[in-house]
Amino acid sequence: MDEIDIRLLKLTQNGLPIIAEPFRGIAMELGISEDEVLNRLENLIREGVVRRFGASIGHRAIGITANAMCTWNVPDERVEEVGAIMAGFPEVTHCYERPRFPDWKYNLFTMIHAYSRDECERTAKEISIATGIKDYSILFSEREFKKTGVRL
């Protein structure tokens, strides 16, 4: 990484402006071309300096206040198949496998966002029907903690 990469990270770490060409202003500020900005970002991602570069929606700000972590007891040999089905639901924003523990039988987790708890429960039921997995638990969020990644 050089000084331009560091400045680029500082300029993008808190989000991009919601305009038609967000990288153009960054390029002008850095004194480089828009293509070079994009190439540098691609290199930083490829090198593992940047692990994730994507949109993040403040779901509570737009009224999506019901958030449920659904934990599923999925046969180990079906995790890939079932996970793909679950991840295909538009209400599911996260779907991942976790190890089982002696006092915790669930191994597949989905995060469901909706406008109400009833909608979350309805989605979980639809997922259950679609996958045939009937052993699950719904854990609702009570509050949201501030989420920030690493900052320079």
Indicate yes or no: pTM above 0.85: no
d(CA 98, CA 112): 17
Task: Determine if residue 67 is left, alpha or beta; phi over 0 gives left, psi from -120 to 50 gives alpha, anything else beta.
Answer: beta
CA torsion angle for 68, 93, 22, 33 (degrees, to 10)?
A: 140
What CATH number has the domain bearing residue 75?
A: 3.30.70.3460
The count of residues in the chain is: 152
First to last CA, the chain: 13
Query: Which helix H or strand E contains 135, and what residues bound it?
Result: none
Q: Percentage of the chain surpassing pLDDT 90?
A: 72
Quick check: 87 pLDDT over 70?
A: yes
Using one digit for the tens of pLDDT, what is the confidence trace for 16-66? Answer: 887 889 999 999 999 999 999 999 999 999 999 998 887 666 666 676 778
Q: What is the pLDDT of residue 129?
A: 98
Q: Which structural domain range is residue 31 located in? A: 3-46
Tokens 């009570």, located at residue: 142
Q: Do 91 and 35 belong together in one domain?
A: no
Total structural domains in the chain?
A: 2
Q: Do 66 and 13 belong together in one domain?
A: no
Both structure tokens of 127? 């997922």
Q: Do 67 and 42 belong together in one domain?
A: no
Q: Which residues pair with 4 in a beta bridge?
A: none
What CATH number has the domain bearing residue 20?
A: 1.10.10.2890
Q: Do 18 and 77 belong together in one domain?
A: no
Q: Do 79 and 31 belong together in one domain?
A: no
Q: Do 123 and 66 belong together in one domain?
A: yes
Quick check: 110 pLDDT over 90?
A: yes
